[in-house]
Amino acid sequence: MKKFTMWLFVLILSSIVFLLGFNTKTNLEPKYLYQVYLDDQVLGVIESKNELEEYIDSQGSTLKEKYNVDKVYAPEGLEIRKIITYDNHVDKVKDVYKKLSELKPFTISGYQFTIKKEVETSNGETVTKNTVIYVTDDSIFETAIQNTIISFLGENVYKAYREGTQAKIKQTGLTYNNIYVDNDITRKETNISVNEKIYVNSEELSQYILFSTNENKNQYIVKSGDTIESVAAANKISVQEFLISNPEFTSKDNVLYSGQVVSVAYANPLVDVMADVTKIEDQTTYYSVQEQSSSDIILGDEQVVQEGANGVNRVTQNIRYKNGFIQAAEVSQQVEIKPTTPKIVIVGTKYISGVGGNYWTWPTSSYSISSPFGWRSYEFHTGIDIYNYYGAPIYAANNGIVTIAGWYGTYGIFVGINHNNGYGTGYGHMSMLAPGIHVGSTVERGQLIGYIGLTGQTSGPHVHFELYYGSTHPGYNYSKFINPQFMY
């Protein structure tokens, strides 16, 4: 009987608990709330999604002022999910905001531009470099690109090209046929983390695109007697890089004054500004030296029979510039304006030697110089680049002994000649050597030694022509490089 009574008591008690629990649950109403996540981490539960978004925006006055925007947004990765719950607990919006601010930066609306550029690594490989730029307005990026183009071409040139008001070529001059940026650039509207570098004006972005850095450029204080060319050379940059760093100057002939502060920086643009140009110019054609042999004259002695005179050719060229430097050039027409008069010299033949005389022969049939002697991009260009068609002949500038004949580092196929008169010459980027040219060969002035090519580090067919003084072996132990044009 006692056992039965106990079971009955348990049954009644259970029924009461069940009915009480059922009645309690049925008396609760479900609530629609919002659960806040950041990268799948739960930060709390709030009553209103809009309230949190408006609170984030209201707390962002400093960011709005800094970036000149109207609204501040939640951090990237924030998610607010609507939920149904019987739980009465709700977090305060300001508490959720505080957690957000401690975990991740807030964002603003803007644009992301990605610039792709082909660059060469130190080991000669070509790789694609991606640069991401953030701006508050896409017009900032567009204006910065226009400013970059103007830095290389000049405002007047670019304006005339855009408006179709370029002066027509009468006899000599140039016309810009096409100006463009040769890069793959993508644009995306997005929310940007305020931890990123965000550009709010085109001037600052223009400098970054031109120099690949936001750091201040080096300064130079002008001394008495300084010129733009001498300042550029002293700081191991090209004249063009000086003009880009100091846009207030329009020409290398602009006058500097003592105490003036100028910027000196190596241009390293993130984009490739291309310009296709038709150029007509009168070029000096250097006279040739014609030798007449005489066995009555000792080798090394020479007699001038007729003095030479340079001529003039009117040359039409199609040139492609890349960031202000010639990338490719092709001569489409050549008209002789004034013929050359050859210099006629009687030379002795009593003894064959590799001693160079006092007269020098131009090393190829072209007189177009794509890169002059001197500083360019923090690198000293030790000779001159004379561009010509692929396979054009290259001649020895004077008598001498061949000391290098073959591959020579970045020069590619290279010939070095010791003229045994205190001078040496070098000829780089050949496609191949001429027959019979080898180390130890004795060559004469004007003798064929090789052909224009693209070997070594070069962007177009040309011969890199160097002149050394005091050299015993061109390429080694030289004492001084000389501008080869001074010898003509």
CATH number, domain of 285, equals 2.20.230.10
Residue 9 pLDDT exceeds 80: no
In the prediction, which pLDDT does 26 show? 47
Give the angle subtended at the CA of 183 by the CAs of 182 and 188, to the nearest 5°: 140
Contact 475, 464 (CB under 8 A): no
Residue 476 pLDDT exceeds 60: no
Q: Between 473 and 34, name the one with better pLDDT.
A: 34
In the prediction, which pLDDT does 15 show? 53
Domain end, chosen from 213, 228, 257, is at: 213
Give the angle subtended at the CA of 105 by the CAs of 37 and 61, to the nearest 5°: 110
Contact 317, 279 (CB under 8 A): yes
The predicted model gives 354-369 an average pLDDT of: 90
Q: Examine residue 4 and state whether it is found in any structural domain, yes or no.
A: no
Q: Examine residue 336 and state whether it is found in any structural domain, yes or no.
A: yes
Contact 176, 157 (CB under 8 A): yes
Q: Are residues 424 and 475 in the same domain?
A: yes
Number of domains in the chain: 5
Domain end, chosen from 351, 372, 392, is at: 351
Q: Are residues 287 and 193 in the same domain?
A: no
Whole domain around residue 391: which residue ranges?
A: 354-488
The pTM of the full predicted model, rounded to 2 decimals, is: 0.70
Domain end, chosen from 205, 235, 267, is at: 267
The 10 Å Cβ neighbour count of residue 186 is: 11
Paired tokens of 352 = 């064959």
In the prediction, which pLDDT does 474 show? 58
Beta strand 325-338 with 374-376: parallel, antiparallel or unpaired? unpaired
In the prediction, which pLDDT does 189 show? 96
Selection from 157, 135, 136, 133 nearest residue 146 by Cα: 157
Query: How far apart are the C-alpha atoms of 310 and 488, rounded to whole Å?
Result: 10
Backbone angles phi, psi at 296, to 5 degrees: -90, -10
The predicted model gives 40-58 an average pLDDT of: 92
- Residue 104, C-beta contacts closer than 8 angstroms, at least 6 positions apart: 38, 39, 75, 76, 77, 78, 193
Percent of the chain with pLDDT over 90: 64
Amino acid, single-letter form, for residue 146: Q
The residue assigned the tokens 């210099």 is 343
Q: Examine residue 365 and state whether it is found in any structural domain, yes or no.
A: yes
Q: How far is CA 436 from the centre of its chain?
A: 41
